[in-house]
Chain A
């Protein structure tokens, strides 16, 4: 029932720290809007999942922090300790002085093997503290050197050392116009390696979150902290305690296992996208009210039209009606092409969630031909509101959400690779051209699997 979080690299550590913040503030907030008993069992479930008891009484996050530079880790440690609500274990971190220089090969082939024993020792200690280990949640960015390269290596080591545990990789998709020249190489190498060792890849795109901050949260000067807080909110809405079955009496005790089983049992389809509504500045929360039918309608259209937030959804995209001619999937009119899903998971948090009708998500046309909605669609809910939102709905979807970004990424990386640009930086650390080709093959296979749904 416990999840061990492994925060990798600068991005991973910043986000990880915000995630624990969001979880803690949700648990301690007084806006649960449910009975005291419900609140207490929510609190207990959340505590067991993310924190361990210490003698001082302050909950200690079940996390291992890894980075090649000391700055971000020490910031994360001190901010957490100052909050008074939670903290990191002082011994559960590892850092060096020199960084990885945004070089995937450096992280994977040099830092990884060199520090493998120390890092895995830290992870082992955290795992032993858990009565029941649900699995590992790693947070990393794809563009840099440490998070991506060392992260891919660590994921492989986790898989070898804990073959019976679940591994969920949270991956940050870099800005399209990112500052790192070789980010496409790093991304391709990361994704292909993670695909082999991880059970699922949950993706957040920086561009998307940036848009949410700008348009929905009305933030003028968007800092990394704002972006990370939105990401943390979205992750919290997925991982906080939830009832996974109709009429369940206890909060589910196997968060990662349940997630994997509903969404990624097929080994070729591991890319997960996350949408969470509503999303608005905290100041507006008091003046807004929501209805389940409205939220569900928006969420469904976001799924079909592949929209990233609740504003600017293309309502023209519709599902073909049965009996009418189904537009061929490879038709040129991409406008009418809707987002086909393999599996969807909807999570509802807030009062009166039992009145919500999810029939619209169970339309067989939404899903690929070889899965029925009974297999493909799952609904989890709890009456306990999350993070001050009276009602919130999250959608974790294994669908064609990430097909276009992935295709673009591989295309750009391939163009660079064709002209052999910057390859020497990788070969000098042991990543040869064949490794690149293998990665491209893996990702092309993934793209083709998702395209022919």
Chain B
């Protein structure tokens, strides 16, 4: 598939069907799923349409294409070029197919709503329709199971960390690369099981082939885009003629695409929620600020009357300094937030800096590679944890207040909160 990208002029001659299949397999790979060739063409087409919609492709002509894959190769070509540019399709494929060192970890703290879970979603058939009542004890049961599974996962992670630490510790000083210093999991595995070198070699060779093909593509890329411009010009000439005819009839297909996109729907829901939250927070802040200001002025007045003039000036200066420090800290923290890291990093062990008992994996400080130290990540996570705890407490308090209001409405009911 990858090597075909270097033969781009032939795309214009590709049958639409083949083009759909190509897009399907590429997008499936990008989204981490397994390519199931046995899927019917309309399932594949549905997937491609929903994936494009997720990434924000807004050209309606593509969504109006029939589900049997009989037409539309030019639309597909446009979509493909859009993907190349917009989501870095090739770079993502390369990243996915890399040979892993086994030492990867992620420091990303963004909320995870990747469409990797699409397979799971379609399999979950709700056991109760919305009209049936669900026993709350069953929900508590399920919640408990989730909690326990989370705990098991936590134990698994801890084990992985412990073992990784052992590997790094025991192999430190043995690596050819002096800056790295120790072996990765893959390298250690190779030493333990040398007969697996053939498989590793195969992986490395295929990765090399992909990288070479990518380099070839990069050299020819300009030509491709110039050609695409001509295609676009052709399309805009024809398009303006037929647009008015098809507008009405085809609008109905868009909502169908909607229903496939669980994550897209949840995204809009999230955006609505966020904007609502933003408004409430803004109002609350305004209120708080005015209240605080008035309380502060009162305080100021009384203090001024109490203290002598000189003492008051000294106290005021001290307060000003403290406030400035606090503001600095706030701005620093806000600025730090922008520097979020995403994707996976490699864990590297540095024993020199481990003054603490749990000196663990830190990233290497080689020139071109961006690094982050474990202590920084830990600090950020602790801050995040504190803010989430605050949020949880606040939500629990709100819930409790709501329950109290409800309980007041009921006679003879005593509400004992957990």
Contact = CB atoms under 8 A, between A and B. Distances in A.
Interface of A: 1, 131-134, 164-166, 199, 254, 257, 260-261, 264-268, 369-371, 375
Given A164-B151, A164-B155, A257-B152, A371 B138 contact: yes
Nearest to B142: A265
Contact of A257 (B143, B144, B148, B162): B148
A266 B137 contact: yes
Interface of B: 135, 137-138, 140-145, 147-149, 151-152, 154-156, 158-159, 162-163
B151 A166 contact: yes
A268 B137 CA distance: 9
Contacts of B162: 131-132
The CB with the most chain A CB atoms within 10 A, among B140, B143, B147, B148, is that of B148
B182 to A, nearest CB: 19
Contacts, number: 56
Contacts of B147: 265
Contacts of B154: 164
Nearest to A453: B137
Contact of B158 (A133, A260, A266): A133
Contact of A254 (B137, B143, B155, B158): B155
B142 to A, nearest CB: 7
A41 to B, nearest CB: 18
A397 to B, nearest CB: 16
B148 to A, nearest CB: 5
Given A265-B147, A369-B135, A134 B141 contact: no
A131 B163 contact: yes
A362 to B, nearest CB: 17
B152 A254 contact: yes
A166 B163 contact: no
**Which residue, of A164, A166, A199, has the highest number of chain B Cβ atoms within 10 A?**
A164
Contacts of B144: 264-267
A158 to B, nearest CB: 14
A375 B145 CA distance: 10
A397 B143 CA distance: 20
Given A257-B155, A265-B145, 6 more contacts: A133-B155, A257-B148, A264-B144, A265-B142, A265-B144, A266-B140
A166 B153 CA distance: 12
Which applies to chain A's interface (DSSP): helix, strand, loop or mixed?
Answer: loop
Nearest to B151: A164
Nearest to B127: A372
9 contacts: A165-B151, A254-B155, A265-B140, A265-B141, A265-B145, A265-B147, A265-B148, A268-B140, A371-B141
Nearest to B163: A131
A238 to B, nearest CB: 17
Nearest to B159: A132
A266 B141 CA distance: 5
Contacts of A261: 145, 148-149, 152
Nearest to B155: A132
Contacts of A134: 155
Contacts of B149: 257, 261
Contacts of A254: 152, 155
Contacts of A260: 148
A166 B144 CA distance: 13
A165 B156 CA distance: 11
Contacts of A166: 148, 151
Nearest to B166: A131
A452 to B, nearest CB: 10
Contacts of A133: 155, 158
B155 A165 contact: yes
A207 B256 CA distance: 66
Nearest to A132: B159
Contacts of B135: 369-370
